[in-house]
A and B are shown apart, each in its own frame.
Chain A
């Protein structure tokens, strides 16, 4: 192979290598600029992904959506219809196999069926009325030192002051990008900064 052929192939390889991160950036920027903001309640914990840094693992709510369970199968892609409750947090009012036209929605995966909403009210023999779903986001990336601090801050605050946590998420055409994690109504970094100065 001559030099020009090598160079041409190399340029093609570089374009492919750049295309992946650029497409990741472009799609997320579109969601962040044009997506609608929603709030999801969450309970943070703190595991570690060695390749992509420290993150706060999020146990998000809602975990299920009312739907006829026979329609869905395990791990199937579905669309959760979003409504906002009186407190301003997301609830799923329905689940469908095709995206709805009239309400905002989120792409999810089916996990299983629940007797009622996961409130612990289900008993053996109850007829399942909700489908459990897996949300497309379950972590919030933070700097190495901040993630465990965030977890400690939440647990301490929850025990002593009944602190609540939520994430703000931009959603556009079913795709989502997490904007920020909030503790006690403040962005996590602001909360930790104020806490450290007290």
Chain B
């Protein structure tokens, strides 16, 4: 049970305890003053929102399927009227919500989602009716741009989350067609400006959490797609800075609650750091990296690459002050995760000037090992099994990765895996025993 719920439970028990003369009224008030106000989310309202969105989606899909059943028999004017009619109905529902139900989150989320899906369906149906060619990229771009007013005006996060998915798919499609996805950042800015509001207002609400998850995970994917990568290996530094920013910002400002669900930035930053470091602990990722391998072939737009450098500059300008602050406060974990971009830039520099790829590999192996030891020792210190196991998992991943590229035989690997397993079990056993004794 998390802390908020525990306190809420205690408050609910106080009247009974006073009636039973277990606690006095003064003691009860003292307890309330000590723990302060708590806000436990009403799960029924969350369920209502989820069901309204699911319901709106199914209604939209059901209407489309019913139209599709007799579609071939309908004349072109009939199809046109139905296609536009679907959109008008969705707009009508959204308008009604704005007029009469603006305070209802369920209405806003449901009608906004219905409207967003109707926009796409309407354009698709008309394209099919009039044999309009075009391509998937143009269709997605128009659909997403027309969705922007929907989540702003109805203040709905579900269409905003779907919008992030849509613009990410759009950027992937455009890049796959040898274009560039520079407009992704303009489209993302439209989402970011909307998302900041719920997160700043109350970062523990489901809406804010959903936007934080959507943004952090979506950007993790979108960065890889949209980076132009004319400067070979520049993605290493950008991703390192990005995950560092996520972790440092998450552990500085979005620290409420114990559950991982409530810490999207911290979780994405931490996992991203480990995965990236694991990848970079392989020599293969450091081959042909650096300014001597600058790409000018067809498909690489030099002027779009400026965005890569701007992104790196912005991310570093956020990460570095937070890293310095963490150093001053001697916050070990934040120092460790904040160090990643510095390490990435140093290693990139080494690879760029022609040092053997063994150097960056060794440095990242050392970094990962240090990170694992730090997390394990922290877990043992605060007697948190989850933290200790996370550190052990990182260490295990590192050892397994080295097993696979070290050329060891089956017997050696088998012994190694057995020892790792024993290490896992022994650490968990000792920790549980220690907690019971405490």
Mark A residues whose CB is within 8 Å of B: 3, 6-7, 9-10, 12-14, 16-18, 20-22, 24-25, 28, 32, 49, 51-53, 136-141, 143-144, 146, 177-179, 189
Contacts and interface: CB of A to CB of B under 8 A. Distances in A.
Contact of B131 (A14, A17, A18, A177): A177
Contacts of B131: 137, 139-141, 177-179
A3 B146 CA distance: 22
Nearest to B148: A13
Contacts of B120: 51
A10 B97 CA distance: 11
Given A6-B98, A18-B84, A52 B149 contact: no
Contacts of B124: 51-53
Interface stretch (B87-95, B281-289, B325-333): B87-95
Contacts of A189: 72
Interface string B111-139: 00000000110111011101111001001
9 contacts: A13-B153, A14-B91, A21-B83, A21-B122, A49-B136, A51-B136, A137-B131, A177-B130, A179-B131
Contacts of B4: none
A138 B133 contact: yes
Majority secondary structure, B binding face: helix
A18 B119 CA distance: 9
Contact of A146 (B72, B126, B133): B72
A16 B148 CA distance: 11
B154 to A, nearest CB: 8
Interface in B182-214: none
A21 B149 contact: no
Which bucket holds chain B's interface residue count?
20 to 34
Contacts of B132: 24, 28, 177
Interface of B: 68, 71-72, 80, 83-84, 87-88, 91, 94-95, 98-99, 102, 119-120, 122-124, 126-128, 130-133, 136, 139-140, 142, 146, 149-150, 153
B8 to A, nearest CB: 34
Contact of A143 (B71, B119, B126): B71
A25 B126 contact: yes
A20 B136 CA distance: 16
Majority secondary structure, A binding face: helix
Nearest to B90: A17
**Most chain B CB atoms below 10 A, which of A32, A138, A141, A146:** A141
B99 A7 contact: yes
A22 B132 CA distance: 13
**Most chain A CB atoms below 10 A, which of B68, B84, B123, B133:** B133
B146 A17 contact: yes
Given A25-B130, A52-B127, 14 more contacts: A6-B153, A7-B98, A14-B91, A20-B142, A21-B83, A22-B84, A24-B123, A24-B132, A25-B84, A51-B140, A137-B133, A143-B68, A177-B131, A178-B131
Enumerate the 5 nearest inter-chain pairs by beta-carbon distance, A residue then B residue, closest first. Answer: A13-B149, A28-B130, A178-B131, A141-B128, A14-B91
A51 B87 contact: no
A181 to B, nearest CB: 9
